[in-house]
A and B are shown apart, each in its own frame.
Chain A
Amino acid sequence: MKKINSTLYLLLLPVLAWLIISIVVPHLDLLFKSFRFENDDGLMVFSLNNYLAFFEDEIYWLTFVKTALYSIGITFLAFVVTFPVAFYLTKVVAKKYSSFMVLLLLIPIWIGELVTIYGWMILLSDSGVINQFLLSIGIIDSPIEMLYTNFSMTIGLLYMSMLFMIIPMMSALESLDDSLIEAASDLGASKWTIFRQIIIPYTIPGIASGSIIVFMLVIGDYVAPNILGGKSSLWFTEQIYNEFLSTFNWNEGAAFGFLLLLLSSGIVWLALKLTGQKLDRVGS
């Protein structure tokens, strides 16, 4: 018995060290710092001022609300765009093509966000590929302003996150027995009925984990809103970034960071409750 225990501690101690030093302590510190405020005498005191600043200045909480709503919207958009693809790859296309098509999906993920977002910047700019193409075939006379708008930001966020939606949906669809669909079809069910009553309920676990991953990636993203979004499309992470690296108001930044953490984990918690999922299933 004693030997088993020594292995347990050998494994437990490094893992504990990892979790405490890099996760628990920094986040408790973030919470603590968010209540520290330098008063008029230059002393650090305990106060709610950093949070009050958030509610007093319209631009902060408006950006906060906008970030939340856009993130939910983009998550839904990602589901709508990718569900037919996930279904196609698992149930429609011939097996010999599907593994290659899945491989193609993974390539943009591994290339990384910065490069793909940069690609979109070139595509959407005034002298970019899309505008030049439309100009050359004569559909438009002058370039359409696409870059630095909410539109370009949405495209970027969708592009970098949607592939994380397909993979969990595919693994849910893979375990769906084709004979269920065949049986429903033999009994005269329409495509819409099969979709609504068999396919969607069966895929809910995959949709839930995919949505959570997409939502977290979108709400916490900085690159796509900053490179593709313009002045009118401010993202809440950009304000945290400014607090830390431009105005050096770290305590206020900590408060904003904590608010973002509350918002994102709150929405994820709600989504898990509504769909009856557990967090440890999301990881797998």
Chain B
Amino acid sequence: MIRTLPNSPLYKIGYRIYIGLFYLFLIMPLVTICVLAFNDSNFIALPWKGFSLDWFFSNTEERLGLFADEDLLLSIWISLKTGFIVALLSLIIGTMAALLFEQEKFRLKGLLYFLALTPLIIPGVILGISILLTSTFTGTYIEEKFAIDVEFLRPSFWLVVFGQFSFGATYVMLLVGARLKKFDQTLEEAALSLRATRLQVIWLITLPFLRPALIGAFIVAFLISFSNFNTTIFLVGSDPTLPVDLYSRIKFSSTPVLNAVSFMIVAFITLSAIISFVINRKKI
């Protein structure tokens, strides 16, 4: 059953076949996209018509490749921008929350911690509609009362940032909090007894200790933002993020340029995963 126990050959082979099938199931959609991104065809699926880079570089009416499609490039740029700002905001507030819940004592701590975890169990669609409702209502109210049009309260770039930040901070809090649990409190006590202020301790001792977790949490928050659809769709204005743009293309006008974009995402994620794997292995 486990490494140290003997098993019948049939059991071993059966198990290996199952694992093989599972991994086949896992990579099948990814491999398919990657291969078809280079298909010399005007349709997203089979048949295979030969190798071509048209859906990356071509710039004709019939075949608008990824690097010639300005709308698509713009939505990638918007997603990168959104992801960066969301990750930064989430990192700041999420880290503060982790420090707060791990190190401070105050009334209603349990209730607040529960609230901070709720984005994990609120479906993204609900978060999207409730933020949309509240911001629209507030925006209309301000406009009627003070005759000021507050742009970010309408579906827009900044509303997307706000919506994604509201759950991004939770993931940062959990990742940083997990690292903080391993922190040796006596280091802080020593610094405090040597008359460092509490803020100096956080800045000079706690944060440097948390550095790897902070970098990891930033990357996680960025990726969550970059691929989010369920919340974003309700908050997006005239400038769609990449997932929103991809979605409307899949529904209404799918050309193989979709395969090309997906290929880029798959290739980028896989490469970064392998690089981080190699770096981590060297450390050990």
A residues contacting B by CB (< 8 A) are: 3-4, 6-8, 10-12, 14-16, 18-19, 22-27, 29-30, 33, 81-82, 84-85, 88, 91-94, 99-101, 103-108, 110-116, 118-123, 125, 127-129, 132, 159, 178, 181-182, 185, 191, 194, 212-213, 216, 219-223, 226-227, 237, 240-241, 244-245, 250, 253-254, 257, 260-261, 264-265, 268, 279-280, 282-284
How far, in angstroms, from A131 to B226 measured CA to CA in the complex?
Answer: 32
How far, in angstroms, from A226 to B246 measured CA to CA in the complex?
Answer: 13
How far, in angstroms, from A84 to B126 measured CA to CA in the complex?
Answer: 34
How far, in angstroms, from A85 to B44 measured CA to CA in the complex?
Answer: 32
**Is B197's CB under 8 angstroms from A29's CB?**
no
- Give the dominant DSSP class at B's interface: helix
Contact partner of B117 among A26, A93, A226, A279, CB < 8 A?
Answer: A279
**Is A107's CB under 8 angstroms from B19's CB?**
no
A23-B115 contact given A30-B129, A129-B32, CB 8 Å threshold: yes
Contact partner of B125 among A14, A110, A237, A268, CB < 8 A?
Answer: A237
The segment from B54-62, B66-74, B142-150, B258-266 that touches chain A is B258-266
**Is B46's CB under 8 angstroms from A128's CB?**
yes
How far, in angstroms, from A86 to B282 measured CA to CA in the complex?
Answer: 25
Contact partner of B133 among A103, A194, A250, A261, CB < 8 A?
Answer: A250
Q: Mark B121-144, 1 if CB is under 8 A from A, else 0.
A: 111111101111110010000000
Contact partner of B4 among A106, A115, A182, CB < 8 A?
Answer: A182
**Is B5's CB under 8 angstroms from A220's CB?**
no
**Is B45's CB under 8 angstroms from A127's CB?**
yes
A11-B99 contact given A22-B131, A103-B277, A111-B227, CB 8 Å threshold: yes
How far, in angstroms, from A88 to B22 measured CA to CA in the complex?
Answer: 12
How far, in angstroms, from A123 to B28 measured CA to CA in the complex?
Answer: 8
- Residues on the B chain within 8 Å of A226, using CB: 251
A26-B130 contact given A112-B226, A123-B32, CB 8 Å threshold: yes
CB distance from B28 to the nearest CB of A (A): 6
Task: Please provide the chain B residues from 20 to 52 with a CB less than 8 Å away from any CB of chain A in the complex.
Answer: 22-23, 25-30, 32-33, 36, 43-47
CB distance from B231 to the nearest CB of A (A): 10
**Is B32's CB under 8 angstroms from A122's CB?**
yes
Chain A residue nearest to B101 (CB atoms) is A15
How far, in angstroms, from A215 to B47 measured CA to CA in the complex?
Answer: 37
- Interface assignment of B153: CB less than 8 Å from any CB of chain A: no
How far, in angstroms, from A179 to B3 measured CA to CA in the complex?
Answer: 11
- Interface assignment of B199: CB less than 8 Å from any CB of chain A: yes
Q: Mark B263-284, 1 if CB is under 8 A from A, else 0.
A: 0011001100110010001000
Chain B residue nearest to A102 (CB atoms) is B277
How far, in angstroms, from A220 to B114 measured CA to CA in the complex?
Answer: 20
- Residues on the A chain within 8 Å of B262, using CB: 115, 118-119
